[in-house]
Structure 1
Amino acid sequence: MLGLAVPVGDINVHAHYRPAPAIYKRATAGDGGPLPCFGGSGTGGVDSVYFVMSRPGYSSYAILKVEPAAAQETFAPYTDLMKEVKTGFGRTMSHLPAVFGVSRQTLYNWLNGETPKEPHQGKLVQLAAAARTFTEAGFKPTALSLERTVAQGRSFVELIGQGADGKETAEKLVRIEKRGTVAKAKLNALLGGRTPSRPDVSDMGRPAFNEDV
């Protein structure tokens, strides 16, 4: 039986193997081929999984464990969420403990890496979403705006504290504030920049009708 000698490159240099000529010939069915390779692992042996795994000097294959997508982290770390909240709310961050029913120091603990308790985590995610909405709209909430009625007779702080959607609630507040700004500008235009006159002391007690009648 004749074979074809083919030079093999230095494929095992990492394992300190020296190149050696190899005999390559596709086995026939009579020789026990193509798989399993009869006689490949010794006299009368078969190339089993055990033989391949235990063969010295070779790395057959590796099994990689990939975490399912559902198990991956969905949200940013809570410290990053708190940074977004701080950026979006600015000084009015001091009014946000009421959302969670915690102290102001607790918010700063979250900002410094402490993990919020489970009941607070969802609210923090929504609060960060609201902060992003404010930042994108170029809107800086004030203490008065956070207490303004937004929906269902409740303020922004109350709604987020009850689990409302942060982005949607923030958008409603921004629209309300913009409408108020537009209405104020129209009123100023009608007044021509004039300010209402303050009542004079002499006007006090002046009868509004004829008391002698």
Structure 2
Amino acid sequence: MRQSMTGSCYGTPGLAPIAGALFVATSMFLSGTGASYSVKDVNQWRGFVQPKVHFGLSKLENHGDTDNGPVDIRTISEHLSNVRDTLSPSMSELAKDLGITRQALYKWLSGDSQPDDIGKAGYIIELSRLADRFNEAGVENAKLMSKMKAFDGLSIIDLIKRGDDWKSSVNLLIDEARQLKIAGVKANLTGSKSTPTDGWMSSVSIPGSGMKE
């Protein structure tokens, strides 16, 4: 309210729209995706909500919990591309694992739409992070390694599906894969003049890699 020269009070209509706009913007940021997210877990859900929300998150990162490490700013489309390029899953199989149609999956891949289920988005992100680890370690046949039944009859993708912590498992898988490849190359070189292959690795189960209950 403002006071006129005559002493009467009158409203300032410009303030109401501004306040309303701020309220709407805040509401969009907190619940525009149809779900609530903890600021502490910003690294986990940022890639899921960023395509839908155009607000910067730098201030939240600076004042939030920094124990989660670098913030992953990739979109779901980028995560899917990473998974497809590195792990080379069948799109039909991946769609089945996610409980969606292939058409919906291709829309996510193209960026035309986004998953409305944070669980599905989280699964894609974890697969992408697995792909990152294989790429960082220089694993040449990540598709084969990701399907190897090395953990009590389970693959590392099976562990991700179950929601298990796969971080130590992938390190073991990478270390053993290097040793197995060296052994395989030596076996190929000493026993045959043909080009060395890594097809023998597909049925290997790493000794002592059983998952603890």
TM-score by length of 2: 0.49
TM-score by length of 1: 0.49
* Higher helix residue share: 2
Q: Flag the structure with more relative contact order, 1 or 2, with Cα contacts below 8 A and sequence separation at least 6.
A: 2
Which protein has the larger Cα radius of gyration, Structure 1 or Structure 2? 1
